[in-house]
Each structure stands twice: as structure tokens, then as C-alpha cells.
Amino acid sequence: MPARLLIACRDRPGIVAAVAGFLFGRGANVVASDQHSTGPADGTFFMRMEFVGGGADLSPAFAAQVGEPFAMEWTYWPDERPKRLAILVSREDHCLLDLLWRRRRGDLAADVPVVISNHPDHAADVRAFGVPYEVVPVAGALAKPGAEARMLELLAAAEPDLIVLARYMQVLSGDFLARAGVPVVNIHHSFLPAFPGADPYTRALERGVKIVGATAHFVTEELDAGPIIDQDVVRVSHRDEVAVLARLGRDVERQVLARAVAAVVDDRVLVHEGRTIVF
């Protein structure tokens, strides 16, 4: 995987030239470049660049020569280390097993150091993929602070770059999100902003919808309201009951979450004013 630079700053002339010139000066070869501007006069400029070569960690030099002069927000990911993602899951296994399968096949360029669940159901399946499985029960509201403290201990040991909620059916506190210190991606079994919260397929049936969908989004303190990374839908019929909607929806959930996780792992996602730019 090539190294990546992900950049956001006020739009102005010379940004692309400065970044490309810096990489050229270090002997790097740019192999892919994407950019987007919200407006050339007073907008925000976003860019993702892949490159090979350039030597050791270029962060200090890039900060001094390009990042600071252009007042950039930027991240650099070297080519030698895959991202690490921790997966949280409850009883539903379709998203969990799909991610582990894609990782084993090499379709998801990430390591999975741990899977954490509030149920023991998937221990054998997860360990068959060679991944540690930790059970942290959550028994009532009073147990949640203790459960979150234990999960934070496990996450600190795993050192993930990303946390994925693969149908983890517990609401995480703002304190947990802050202390986790890395992005958290959730899959919600609805085409948000329609039917946030619990039991969306039942509410979709009651409204007589003709499509059901899934939404992958970053997790914030506001339930199911974080910036959306990916979505998709499937058509349904008035003949379909809740069980059918859920069965059709599971396929969409797997695909949407896999695309979203791959996009974050590959540094293709920037967040701006509550929305995402996905290259």
C-alpha cells in the first residue's frame, strides 16, 4: 500500500504544486491524487495523495515546509504499517464475520487485534480467524460505567487506529468516546436520517416504505447522528414482513459497513462541518 497524505485547508492557489513539489524533492513518486474544493474564492480545499518512496517519516519536514505555511490540517500514513481496527459486536454476527472474512482474504488492508462483545456467542467463530475474543457483559444501566472501563482497558492494550461497531447494540457514553481517542464507525440498519434508534425495520414496515437501507457513520454523542460515510438501499414490497426486511437489510448492512471501513482504513474520508468528503 502506498503512503498517504490527507489534507484540508483554506483554498488558495499553489496548494497542489506545493505538496507535489515537496514529494518530488524527497524523491517520491505520486501514484494517485484526488481533490475537492467547496469554493475557489473562500472555500475549503481537500486532497488525498498516494505516493511511493520519499524516505523515512516525512512529517517534520512536511509540517515546516508545507503544512504550516498553508495552515493545513493534515495526516500522514506510512506504507509499512496497516491500520489496526478493534471490533465491538453484540448478538448479530453478519457484519462481524464479513469483516473478518474480508481481512483474511486480503480485501481489507487492516489488522484486527481484538473483538469485544457483550455476549459470548461468537467466541469460537472469531478465534477460528485467529483473533482474540473478549466478553464484557453489560447488565443494566448501573453496569455500563464498569463495562466501558473494562473495554477501554482492552482497547488500550490493543492500540487500535479505528473502532468498528459491527452491530454493537449498546449506546456508548461521551466519556468513552473521548477516552477511546480514535474514530468510531457504526453501522445502523436504516437509511438515516430515517428511523434512527432501535427497531427500525418494524417502524419501516409500519410506514409502508418501499426501500430499506443501511448507514455507516462516525459515532458522536448524539445517537445515530454522526457524519455519514456510506449508505445503500434495497427495494422491498408490501408483502414483506419484518423478518424479510431484516434478512434483506443484513446484506446491505454488510456491504455498507465494509465499504465505509475500507474507506477509513485507506484514508479516504475527511470530515468537514458535520459532513464527509469521501475520495
98 is catalytic: no
Q: At what angle do helices 242-265 and 94-105 cross, to 10 degrees?
A: 40
- Number of Cβ within 10 Å of residue 210's Cβ equals 12
Q: How many residues comprise the chain?
A: 279
Whole-angstrom distance, CA of residue 231 vs CA of residue 217: 9
Residue type, 243: A
Whole-angstrom distance, CA of residue 242 vs CA of residue 244: 5
3-state secondary structure of 14: coil
Whole-angstrom distance, CA of residue 35 vs CA of residue 219: 25
Whole-angstrom distance, CA of residue 38 vs CA of residue 268: 17
Of 93, 98, 224, 266, which residue is the catalytic one?
Answer: 224
**133-135 and 3-10 as β-strands: parallel, antiparallel, unpaired?**
unpaired
Q: Which candidate, 173, 249, 186, places its Cα nearest to that of 214?
A: 249
Residues assigned a catalytic role: 224
